[in-house]
Amino acid sequence: MSDPTINTATSLQILRQTYTDKVLKTIIPRNTDLRDAHFNQKDIFAFNPKSKAALAYNKLIHELFDL
């Protein structure tokens, strides 16, 4: 998961510069729905499929399939 802080953004930028084509583009944002889904013993898609985190994980799945 990503937290949009300067340290995280800087680290991601360095990783992308160093490993150009080996770093996936999708970023999973921090989201309270992820915590709540875990607490309720559900995956994010069952808990809140329209949350930003669920949409990001779905995007990641498609990105992985396109490799």
Q: What one-character-per-residue DSSP string does 11-44 give?
A: HHHHHHHHSGGGS-S---B--HHHHHHHHTT--H
Name the nearest CA neighbour of 57 among 19, 31, 21: 31
Q: Please give the pLDDT value at position 54.
A: 98
Q: What are phi and psi of 2, to 5 degrees?
A: -120, 140
| Domains contained in the chain, number | 1
**pLDDT exceeds 90 at position 7:** no
Task: Quickly state the pLDDT bin for 8 (edges 50, 70, 90).
Answer: confident
- For residue range 22-67, what is the model confidence (pLDDT) as tens digits? 999 999 998 899 999 999 999 999 999 999 999 999 999 999 999 8
Is residue 44 domain-resident? yes
Longest dimension (CA), the chain: 39
Q: Please give the pLDDT value at position 21.
A: 87
Q: Which domain holds residue 45?
A: 6-65
Task: Quickly state the pLDDT bin for 4 (edges 50, 70, 90).
Answer: low
Name the nearest CA neighbour of 27 among 61, 2, 52: 2
Is residue 1 domain-resident? no
